[in-house]
Homo-oligomer: A and B are copies of this chain.
Amino acid sequence: MREAVTLSDVAREAGVSPSTVSRVINGTARVDASKRDAVLKAIERLNYQPNIMAQGLAQGRSLTVGVITQEISSPYYGEMLRGVEQALEATPYHPIFASGHWRADQEEAALKVLVGRRVDALVVMDSSVPEERLLELVKKMPVVVIGRQIEGLSCLSIDNAQGAYEGTRHLIELGHRRIAHIAGPHSHPDAIERLEGYRAALQDADVPFDPALVVEGDYLEPSGVLAVESLLARGALFTAIFAANDQMAYGANVALYRRGIRVPHDVSLVGFDDLLSSSYFSPPLTSVRQPSQEMGWEAARWVLAMLEGKSYTPRPLSTRLIVRESTTLLRSPSSRLRLQMF
């Protein structure tokens, strides 16, 4: 384990003082061209790299942006993280991730880790961290929250109700009236909003809301499977499903497949998020696109701006229905009858 080259080594090598080296590196003050050159050459020769921890100690900043995510391997959060990474790429900042796994205690633990590491700013994704905690944090550093709207905080979110409304309306326009909904966990505000959008679309089309057609999932694939099985077990009649996210739609699709129910021939299926993989699903999934990567990007740009004391107005982020091949016109009334056979 070799010794690391320090700034002093460079100074000695270049025959100048450490301060001068620091000035050359940071452009803090004018330096004579010849000395400047000598320093740069010495840096090159010694392959010097500043010690970020020492810089941080001296300047009181870590050049690090903390990101609270729920699950790093999730395709949904993956896209957001990619957006953050991209936004930070050309800056001296680097992201550091910590996962909450959808559990309040783990989120708090993750928060502690990041604060302990003296992150300069925070991006909080879909957290269930208490408002007061966030309001406390924002006194210490720039914070941007994704997926919630909290008074006094910089928030970034989409109109979940509107997205769900459009997804459901699409099915209604195709002639479907018995539309099941696989909801997200009721503990998540966005899940509630999507459920409301679903109900609003039904109401506007004079389709009666049937509680028996709604099942709660947890945003993961297996819960989509369970949801469909539970719907079928209770004898629910439906010709379409609107899932609160793509992953549950994937699960639903498999459950239908196992029963020999074809998508979209027998049942139309709409998801939410439009994950990258959804266009390669078979059939390619109709979904309400959520600009996840852009959201991560905007959040990162926002905290960067705050760090520089600049103001920033994030671009408006909106959902958009992407129609693919998992939805189709309701076929004759026989569809409903056929479902009774399953």
Contact = CB atoms under 8 A, between A and B. Distances in A.
Interface stretch (A18-26, A33-41, A91-99, A126-134): A91-99
A62 interface: yes
A254 B115 CA distance: 45
A72 B62 contact: no
A74 interface: yes
A143 to B, nearest CB: 12
- State the number of copies, please: 2
Nearest to A222: B280
A82 interface: yes
A170 interface: no
Contact of A52 (B81, B85, B116, B281): B116
B85 A99 contact: yes
Contacts of A74: 78
Interface string A255-297: 0010000010000000000001101111110000000010000
A141 to B, nearest CB: 7
Given A2-B140, A139-B1, A254-B284, A73 B62 contact: no
B277 A277 contact: yes
Contact of A282 (B49, B98, B247, B253): B253
B52 A118 contact: yes
11 contacts: A1-B141, A2-B139, A52-B117, A53-B62, A73-B75, A73-B293, A95-B97, A97-B97, A225-B280, A257-B283, A282-B282
